[in-house]
Amino acid sequence: MLKLIGAVMIFGSCAALGLSARQGLRKRVAAADAMLMALSLISSEISCRRAPLPEIIGTLAENENPTVRLVFGGLQRRLREQNGLSLSYLWRVNLRDNRAEAGLGAPECDILCDAANYLGRYDAVEQAAGLDQIGRRLSAARARRRPRNCKARGICTAPAASRSGYWSFWC
């Protein structure tokens, strides 16, 4: 009887860990999607010469997406408070400080930190090209985080050490 209870407890804890990891991956994908949207907005605003970068950051700080609002609201606050520091430095510090709360993983944060090399340093064409490159890298990282092998019915298979070589779980 104790072995059965122990087996049920182990199975339950493994299921809880799996569901938690799945929820974390979904949050990372959603955060990457939000930042891709923000990067495309920045790139289009810069390339069309519609607004300067502080106005774009202010617009994104008021965005309805909580991830975008968190990241760019923090950046706007830092730009106001620490006026003497460069935008690229504040961009990196802000992303690293808000990474966990925004739901970004370390690889996505590193890719977004590379955008600081382009923002506010070159002419509009170079900034837009650099942001497009960052967007492509971020979407490639996002694609690696999505569950692979998902079928239409919502059942995912993942390589595992089982008899069939795969474990199935609900997406």
Instruction: Give the angle 58-63-69 at the CA atoms, nearest 5°.
Output: 80
- Which has more pLDDT, 127 or 149? 127
Nearest to 102 by CA among 126, 68, 132: 68
Does residue 163 surpass a pLDDT of 50?
Answer: no
Q: Tokens for 100?
A: 């966990």
How many Cβ atoms from other residues are within 10 Å of residue 74's Cβ? 19
Residues in the chain: 171
Q: Could you tell me what percent of the chain has a pLDDT over 70?
A: 83
Domain residue extents for the chain:
2-170
Residues 25-63, buried b or exposed e (16+ Cβ, 10 A)? eeebbbbbebbbbbbebbbebbeeeeeeeeebbbbbbeb
Does the pTM of the predicted model rise above 0.85? no
pLDDT, tens digit, 9 for 90 and up, residues 88-130:
888 899 989 988 888 888 888 888 888 888 887 767 788 888 8
